[in-house]
Amino acid sequence: MRGTTVLPGEGNSGLPGAEGMPTHRLEVPMPNALPFAIGTFDTIGPMSRASFPHRHTFHEIVHVTGGTGSHVVDLTRFALRPPNLCFVAPGQVHHWEGVAGLEGRVILFTDDFLLDHPADRHALRGLGRRSWLELPGDAADRTARLVADLDGEYRAGAQGFQSVLRALLHVLVVRAARLPAPHPAPDPPAPCSRPGSVAAEFVTLLGTPEGPLRTVRACAQHLGVSVSYLSEAVKASTGRTPGELIRQTRVHEAKRLLLRTELSVRQVAVRVGFGDPAYFCRFFRRETGASPGDFRRGTGDIHHDHRLESIARARPSA
């Protein structure tokens, strides 16, 4: 993993400008890199505490253990009362306001990291709608231990660490989903608009078993809107088109089947909605940079330094 970059516009610094709201992604060279990172606010970098509204194409979990100020997610402001656990789903808009003494760890990962627990994608988007959780009593201690274990496994990179990271992340997500809903600070959230609700319904639809097999037109018909309305609503809410998100979902399911089953490439193609295996192979290569066969053979435990450069690089002592 090389770090965070900005889409669209090469060379964009990530700051607000004429191109519109910044959208960040994790740049993960395929097929042999880990789409996951964890570190402190300092090691992840300044975007982890950006004070301007932005969105990204990956999941972000923030474990706040110290500091004051507020975190704003989709126009809802949450006051820091550490310890807190924050979930930001792909496409959500967020920023920090008036923070001081911010401490904790930031966890970044893409949908590709959830191959062992695909249902976690739906759970994470539900947590993104709640976003800000307080950690009372034992929940605070359990969460702190889990996050520390994630950080230790990530830094050590010992044999089998990827499966341990996925298991620990799964436990963190499941336990977080059990926590009670938060109480937003005085600023009321903006009323839910029809475009926003349509975009949310579309993202939820992609998490259903039939989601990867749908076209944009089929999704629009299912939601009772026109294709153009769906496209505008999803683009405004997530920064990406419905077609891009459908392709991403189909690729994710194909990756899971290639890595976690013994289905042939032809069978995988059928499972994700391609009647022609040759066309599926071209589609998969275009989206991932590798053929299905190469992806299946080449993805395994990583033996080189898998960490973000800012985390891996030794920092000079003060």
**Of the listed ranges 32-46, 54-68, 77-91, 138-152, the one predicted with least confidence:** 32-46
Where residue 183 falls among pLDDT bands split at 50, 70, 90? low
pLDDT at 242: 87
Better-scored residue on pLDDT, 150 or 254 = 150
What is the chain's mean pLDDT, rounded?
79
For the segment 303-309, the average pLDDT, to the nearest whole number, is: 48
Q: Which pLDDT score, from 0 to 100, does residue 11 have?
A: 33
Asked if pLDDT for residue 60 goes beyond 60, the answer is yes
Lowest mean pLDDT among 190-194, 265-269, 299-303: 299-303
Weakest mean pLDDT among 88-97, 142-151, 206-215 = 206-215
Please give the average per-residue pLDDT across 106-119, as a whole number.
87
Q: Identify which has the larger pLDDT, 314 or 132.
A: 132
Grade residue 164 by pLDDT with cuts at 50, 70 and 90.
very high
User: How far is 177 from 185, CA to CA, in rounded Å?
Assistant: 21
Q: Lowest-pLDDT range, 40-44, 112-116, 144-148?
A: 112-116
What is the per-residue pLDDT for 316?
42
Q: Give the mean pLDDT of 259-277.
A: 89
Q: What is the 3 state secondary structure string of the chain?
A: CCEEEEECCCCCCCCCECCECCEEEEECCCCCCCCEEEEEHHHHCHHHHCCCCEEECCEEEEEEEEEEEEEEECCEEEECCCCEEEEECCCCCEEEEEEEEEEEEEEEECHHHHCCCCHHHHHHHHHHHHCEEECCHHHHHHHHHHHHHHHHHHHHCCCCHHHHHHHHHHHHHHHHHHCCCCCCCCCCCCCCCHHHHHHHHHHHHHCCCCHHHCCHHHHHHHHCCCHHHHHHHHHHHHCCCHHHHHHHHHHHHHHHHHHHCCCCHHHHHHHCCCCCHHHHHHHHHHHHCCCHHHHHHHCCCCCCCCCCHHHHCCCCCC
* Domains and their CATH numbers in the chain: 3-188 (2.60.120.280), 194-298 (1.10.10.60)
